[in-house]
Structure 1
Amino acid sequence: MITSRREALIGRVLLVVLMLVTVVPFVTLFVTALHPSGTYPSGLSWPDDPQWGNFVTAFTSARMGALLWSSTLIVLGVVPLALIFGTMAGFAFGQIRMKGGRVAFLLLVLGLTLPFEGIITPLYFQMRDFGLLNTRWAIILPLIGLFMPFSVLWMRAHFVSVPKDLSEAASIDGAGIWQLFWRVHAPLARPALSSLAILLFLWTWNQFLLAIVLVDQPDKRTMAGALGAFQGQWGTDIPLLCAGSLLIMTPTVIIFVIFQRQFVAALLQGSVKG
């Protein structure tokens, strides 16, 4: 009993410390963004006259309305296709016995070891040869490919955990592979799909490197990628830079807060088993 109490106390202390480590940077950004433009705030101090207009100035100066639209288009181009391809491939690796399937899966998983920084140079020349530089397709198409290893691994983990008897029963009733996928397994994969969709959305929305390397025009980048141009313009104005950073992070925070229950439910239902 004493050990369990001690473990519970240590767990709570660690959770509080982790919460502080996570929340304090956001609080610092928020407080700094409220200081007068052009000043250099020192420490975590609440300003005497909070400048709420800094958020409006940052929104208009960075043309965040156009950036919001551009990020939405990129997300709509990446997430649905990555979900479809990742789910179909995950089903194939998890439920269908294929010759050489394990080798192919291991080769695919090796893609998780490839850092974006290591392939950005060949990606640049490839997009240039395709004539896609400085377009949103230069971000959408590489992201779909780069997200495939994790998407397939995530969905395969779910399909592997589904009993084989379910597929065998459906096959006896005359269901083909396509019907087995869409009518039987896809509905059961909703928790895994929803959690994967959240992750893909967050990663796409916050994509920075591909956006600044492959696209020159800020209004065709993601909001995180456009932060580089905003920083170049307002790099010496710390309050405005903090206000712009908070505005860029706000959509991802809202999405995660809204769908956090679905994300946690997917983890608890075994979407990452196998």
Structure 2
Amino acid sequence: MPTSPSSSAQAARENVARQLRELRKEAGLTVTELADRCGWHHAKTSRIENAKTPPSPTDIRLWCRTCDAVSQAADLIAASRHAESMYTEWRRRVRTGLRQLQDSYVPLYKSTRLFRVYCSTLVPGLLQTEGYAQALLSANARFHDVPDDAAEAATARLERSQVIHEQGHRFVFLVEEAALNYQLGDADAMAAQLGHLLTAGALPSVSLGVIPASTPERRLWAQETFSMYDDTLVSVELLSAQVNVTQPSEIGLYLKAFEELRTMAVYGQAARALIVTAIDALN
């Protein structure tokens, strides 16, 4: 796996920074000279060139104008916007509410044919019940100190999950056994969630694998939660942000990891037995 799941985003930022630095040098300007002509402190130029601070579109236009490279501004602005969209802090994403965040995924879900989802600590979002989802989303709202519209967001999450019942989509879910035992909500909500897994796992479009905690000599350790949308996008969930991986070489690493994890999972009756054991442990 990549050393950091945000490496694609950082590499994209550094590429923009490198191009801006090269424009400055080709124009024969020092860091201080460029800063003076753009009307900002020289430290800002250094932060931009070292990919510490993302440049705004206005910054890039001023930079290119100062370096007599106005024709390159549009491409650099587009590249910078793309880099910043690859790594998005959760607090920024939920400023307009948790429900809006749930709804934002609908177009992606509609266009994806093959979903591959690995979860180490939680039930996958597409398989969550309303009670479980509401408990999770409310906890997230409290942790990130954002408005708590978890009830509406949970309803939206269930609405978008209806894609499981639509033709033209396939779903491969992998969960660590631990995810079955971390209780969210009260015991009744958790029991309902686990019971739903028994039902959803039997759907013809769904493959549900559980990786037993007792797996001997694991060939790959537990990973951060990630979702693969066809072979073009991997979304990785971190504590502070969501990372969107689009670089083919990194997507290939996540696919390799997914297939490795998949070989350690149990399916069918063996998976159902682990779920039932988790239900019994609630009593």
Same fold (TM over 0.5): no
User: Counting helix residues as a fraction of each chain, which structure ranks higher?
Assistant: 1
TM-score bracket, normalised by the shorter chain, equals: under 0.3
Structure with more contact order per residue of length (Cα contacts < 8 Å, sep ≥ 6) = 1
TM-score of the pair, normalised by structure 2: 0.23
Greater share of strand: 2
